[in-house]
Structure 1
Amino acid sequence: MMKQVPRIWVVILVTFVFCLFVLFQINKIDLIETNLQITHQVNNFFISIAASSHNQTLSFTRNANESDGIRAKQPEEEDTDACAGRYIYMHNLPSIFNDDIIKDCRPLIKWFDMCPFMVNSGLGPQVSDSDNTTARVLTVETGSWYSTNQFLLAVIFRERMKHYECLTNDSSLASAVYVPFYAGFDVSRHLWGYNMTVRDELGIKLARWLREKPEWGKMHGRDHFFVTGRIAWDFRRVRDEDSDWGNKLMRLPEFANMTMLAIETTAWANEFAVPYPTYFHPKSLNEIWRWQRKVKSLKREYLFSFVGGPRPNLDGSIRGEIIKQCLASQGNCKFLNCNVNDCDNPVKIMEVFENSVFCLQPSGDSYTRRSIFDSILAGCIPVFFSPGSGYNQYIWYFPKDYTKYSVYIPEKEMRNGTFSLNKFLGGIDMESISRMRNEVAKIIPKIIYTKPGLVGPEKIEDAFEIAVDRTLERVAMVKRMMEEGKDLQSEYSPIKDLKKLEVM
């Protein structure tokens, strides 16, 4: 008969086996965790290398882009609203305020038929590769060159806004309200032969329409903006007399609260100058890079040029002196007289500018000229004679230090007849010329209106994008001032001195 093992020893044995099992499992888990940590560290090592390489690539690409003056829109984090603070609501205006105005396109501007330029959403007729000169002067094979008229900015801007990525139908989300009113064409069709009642009529109707909309009450119109392809002077008639020029749109209380984007401003703080449309409306970054390389590498035949006409009946005009010196320059200057030449021909205009080192930009009927932007597009260094022609106008677009990209010659120097353009411009060294031309090329992306539809990494900060961003910034600033109870008078008063040259 076998001797029985005491029960206590059975309990001890079972407990011992259980403890061994537990210890084994713990060691197994530690080993797995250790392996996982090692694997995770190795993965992180390779991921960090890949990320570093990717960031270096992005940095290189971004730096290369920005060296050409191109700023691509950076992608936002996936879990954030990329449109926060950037939503814009576009009023659906009755057609009498826009489409109906341009349907009858013939009388929009007296002595000039605007109808041919209305095609392609305001870009105008596309320039085709019709001859060797066109192919040499323009990159027409891209299909991005158009005979664009300067007065069609409002139509072009409205079409771009339809494709704006942060356009919303919910006005409660909007940081700004866009009013697609064709104010420029409304005033231009009534400038000659109409009394002030007719000239003011449509603006007064629109002011009433806007005031009755719920969006108006939010900031009483201070978050509203509109765009015009006319100079701001056309909307600030001083007196209510038929003999005075323009209408009183910006003197209406409603519009006095709004922000106006125009091709030229007056002294008022709620007006901001945006570029005149050029002939180039690219649809890709590669097109812009290609064009920049072209204009930077061109061999230029003329030291300086002037495209325009004389103004013999305009008091104080220096154009006559400029033309006289140009014709006497012994071939150093090219003069394209717009009184006898077709200066609406993109090829003729761009050919002169592409062949010139410096392009003269004297004031004409007003401070600014479309020629400023056509010459910059051609890589030609602009020569200004008044701060009001560029420096004090396009503050969102041009470098603050005007010496980087342009030459300034005060008008008074030209009036006394002793200043020599040929001698002065000919004395600028090649290193300075090269440096200024590179800066001019950087400005090109900022002053063109690209075709609608560019998205993602292809999207750039062109003239439209800059105008929208700066307008949103202004509205946000005014809103903060209102919330803090600050005086808004400085933001809606005549405070700018267009004749004063700011010392850099």
Structure 2
Amino acid sequence: MAGKPKEKHFTHLSIPKPQLLFTLLFFFLWLISHLIFYTSSSAPSNAALFPAEDKKCDPDIAPLYIVPLPSRFNSDLLVQCNNLSPYTDMCPHVAHRGLGQPLSPSSTSWYATHQFIAELIFHARVENHPCRTQDPSTAQLFLLPFYAGLYGSSQFSQTNLTLRDSLALDFASLLPFLPTWPRRLGRDHFLVIGRTSWDFMRPPPSTPDFGANLLLLLPETQNISVLTVERIPWIPHNHYAIPYPSYFHPSTATEVAAWRASVLAHPRTHLFAFVGGPRPPNLEKAAARASILRQCAASPTRCITVECRPDDPSTCHDPNRVLTVMRRAEFCMQPPGDSFSRRSVFDAVLAGCIPVFFSEHTAYTQYLWYAPARPEEWSVFLGPDRSDRIEEELDRIPKPSVARMRERVVEMIPRMTYAHPNASWRELGFRDAVDVALIELTKIVRGNVLQV
């Protein structure tokens, strides 16, 4: 009985039974052989994840190509993840394409993301980007996927400068020989580094050695655009600042809208907050932090803190605690850190907490692609003549102005957020930090803006 429908199904083909069995067997063997051939000969590319007709590139973003570099510049570094930093084991942080560990087992958008991991996340986002092309001849932008930040931090304690600089010199020597290089001598190429520019511009031997290498001082890197989480403001030639990654990596516009609504509605129980710790008093940037901590201690009902202590550094790296404190405050203090910039600025934006700056170089001269042109729309600046009376200065700002500033800060969340690398462009529905950078790089390569 089971075979009867089959006979009926094939009746119109007029194939006798023996021939039918032979035909089916031949077809089956042919199908298996082709499946084996295709799966063994080539892995599916990221470009094939979505049908070509479904891909839709943002017209403001040029076609981009990921330059294939030898694995020693990227994936080989991740194999040695426990040696990527003298301060911490980076293996948990490089997981999930750089997003780190999920904040809960069911989390798909919230991760304990390391602050110096932007190069991995950026690379992962570009791999699935609808503007990515597999044909370099059609590309106008070229990503160089060298994980220079991870390599740099792995060599901070290396006292032999030849060894410390070795991979940077190797990378620079490779650039002129890339097939994509001659067309514009690298001016259409870009490099993403998840650390500050200072870590790749070693000062002269007469100055203290903080572990930097020479990558961004080499002649071969002077034509490429370099995206870092902090640029040196007075060396603006080809360096551009991008956001530090925070903890939110949404896949849909709906997730972003829900988070923004919750942030706006959250009750603000304190006037100001500070997440950070003191610095040794001999350091130039120590005074602002000491003053903030002193003023917070004097006004415990108006100020809330998460103080980072040397005996318990993990306190400041607990995403839930950091965001909970920031969501309870109207304003978040942002003094310079070990350098001018801080990841805390982007945590504050994510929490809808208005940043208060004490140096123009913490954000105003950095994130020109991301922040509103008028700093007073989204932040407060307290110079040396006002920084010793924080509570008084913030109390002076009218409540309607505070509400408008918060709305502006919350509007900034999508463009300062790194979307999930696996997000479908069809569902994303917003331009994230990677898209904003690609748009600005497109302006440069298309000649719509002049480089300073």
Cα deviation code 1:357-405 (max 9, x no counterpart): 1000000110100000001100000001111001110011100111111
Q: Distance in 1 between matches of 2:83 and 2:339?
A: 22
Q: Distance in 2 between matches of 1:176 and 1:182?
A: 18
Q: Distance in 2 between matches of 1:124 and 1:438?
A: 29
Q: Distance in 2 between matches of 1:387 and 1:82?
A: 33
**Which residue is 2:275 aligned to?**
307
- CA gap 1:430/1:85 in 2 versus in 1, 3 angstroms: closer
**Is contact 2:201-2:215 (8 Å) kept?**
yes
Q: Distance in 1 between matches of 2:408 and 2:58?
A: 31
Q: Distance in 1 between matches of 2:240 and 2:57?
A: 28
Structure 1 position 198 matched with structure 2 position 163:
yes
**Which residue is 1:292 aligned to?**
260
Structure 1 position 297, deviation (Å): 0.8
**Which residue is 1:428 aligned to?**
397
Equivalent of 2:112 in 133, 147, 163? 147
Structure 1 position 112 matched with structure 2 position 88:
yes
**Is contact 1:262-1:271 (8 Å) kept?**
yes
**Which residue is 1:458 aligned to?**
428
Give the TM-score normalised by structure 2.
Answer: 0.82
Q: Distance in 2 between matches of 1:118 and 1:213?
A: 27
**Unmatched 5+ residue regions in structure 1?**
1-76, 130-140, 482-490, 496-504
Equivalent of 1:343 in 294, 311, 316? 316
Cα deviation code 1:6-55 (max 9, x no counterpart): xxxxxxxxxxxxxxxxxxxxxxxxxxxxxxxxxxxxxxxxxxxxxxxxxx
Structure 1 position 85, deviation (Å): 6.6
- CA gap 1:202/1:240 in 2 versus in 1, 3 angstroms: farther
**What SS does the corresponding residue of 2:412 show, helix, strand or coil?**
helix
Structure 1 position 324 matched with structure 2 position 294:
yes
Equivalent of 1:93 in 69, 88, 94? 69
**Which residue is 2:11 aligned to?**
none
**Mapping 1:189-228, distance limit 5 Å:** 189-228=154-193
Cα deviation code 1:110-137 (max 9, x no counterpart): 12111111211110111117xxxxxxxx
Structure 1 position 253, deviation (Å): 1.1
Matched residue type, 1:104: Q
CA RMSD in angstroms, aligned pairs only: 2.2
Equivalent of 2:411 in 442, 452, 469? 442
Q: Distance in 2 between matches of 1:442 and 1:222?
A: 32
Equivalent of 1:161 in 99, 107, 126? 126
Matched residue type, 1:95: S
Q: Distance in 2 between matches of 1:392 and 1:81?
A: 30
**Unmatched 5+ residue regions in structure 2?**
1-52
Structure 1 position 240, deviation (Å): 5.7
**Is contact 2:270-2:330 (8 Å) kept?**
yes
Instruction: Name the larger-Rg structure.
Output: 1
After superposing the two structures, state which structure 1 stretch, 327-336 or 381-390, moved more: 327-336
Structure 1 position 184 matched with structure 2 position 146:
no
Identity of aligned pairs, percent?
38
Q: Distance in 2 between matches of 1:202 and 1:244?
A: 19
**Is contact 2:129-2:425 (8 Å) kept?**
no
Q: Distance in 1 between matches of 2:285 and 2:92?
A: 35
Matched residue type, 1:476: R
**Which residue is 2:359 aligned to?**
386
**Which residue is 1:282 aligned to?**
250
**Is contact 1:196-1:241 (8 Å) kept?**
no
**Is contact 2:143-2:189 (8 Å) kept?**
yes
**What SS does the corresponding residue of 2:326 show, helix, strand or coil?**
helix
Q: Distance in 1 between matches of 2:167 and 2:298?
A: 50
Cα deviation code 1:90-126 (max 9, x no counterpart): 1111110011112111221112111111211110111
Structure 1 position 347, deviation (Å): 0.4
**Which residue is 2:22 aligned to?**
none
Q: Distance in 2 between matches of 1:349 and 1:464?
A: 24
Matched residue type, 1:338: C
Matched residue type, 1:112: T
**What SS does the corresponding residue of 2:333 show, helix, strand or coil?**
strand
**What SS does the corresponding residue of 1:435 show, helix, strand or coil?**
helix
Structure 1 position 233 matched with structure 2 position 198:
yes
Structure 1 position 376 matched with structure 2 position 349:
yes
Q: Distance in 2 between matches of 1:343 and 1:404?
A: 28
- CA gap 1:241/1:100 in 2 versus in 1, 3 angstroms: farther
Cα deviation code 1:409-453 (max 9, x no counterpart): 014543xxxx31111112222111111110011000110011133
- CA gap 1:89/1:83 in 2 versus in 1, 3 angstroms: farther
**Is contact 2:60-2:442 (8 Å) kept?**
no
* Number of matched pairs: 390
Q: Distance in 2 between matches of 1:319 and 1:82?
A: 43
Matched residue type, 1:277: P
Q: Distance in 2 between matches of 1:364 and 1:84?
A: 35
Matched residue type, 1:260: V
**Is contact 1:306-1:336 (8 Å) kept?**
yes
Q: Distance in 2 between matches of 1:371 and 1:81?
A: 32
**Is contact 2:158-2:164 (8 Å) kept?**
no
**Which residue is 1:257 aligned to?**
223
Structure 1 position 305, deviation (Å): 0.6
**What SS does the corresponding residue of 2:97 show, helix, strand or coil?**
helix
Give the TM-score normalised by structure 1.
Answer: 0.74
Matched residue type, 1:389: T
**What SS does the corresponding residue of 1:306 show, helix, strand or coil?**
strand
**Is contact 2:285-2:336 (8 Å) kept?**
no
Q: Distance in 2 between matches of 1:97 and 1:241?
A: 30
**Which residue is 1:67 aligned to?**
none
Structure 1 position 162, deviation (Å): 0.4
Q: Distance in 2 between matches of 1:229 and 1:236?
A: 15
- CA gap 1:100/1:265 in 2 versus in 1, 3 angstroms: same
- CA gap 1:112/1:82 in 2 versus in 1, 3 angstroms: closer
**Mapping 1:32-181, distance limit 5 Å:** 86-128=62-104, 143-181=108-146
Matched residue type, 1:125: Q
**Which residue is 1:359 aligned to?**
332
- CA gap 1:240/1:168 in 2 versus in 1, 3 angstroms: farther
Q: Distance in 2 between matches of 1:90 and 1:83?
A: 19
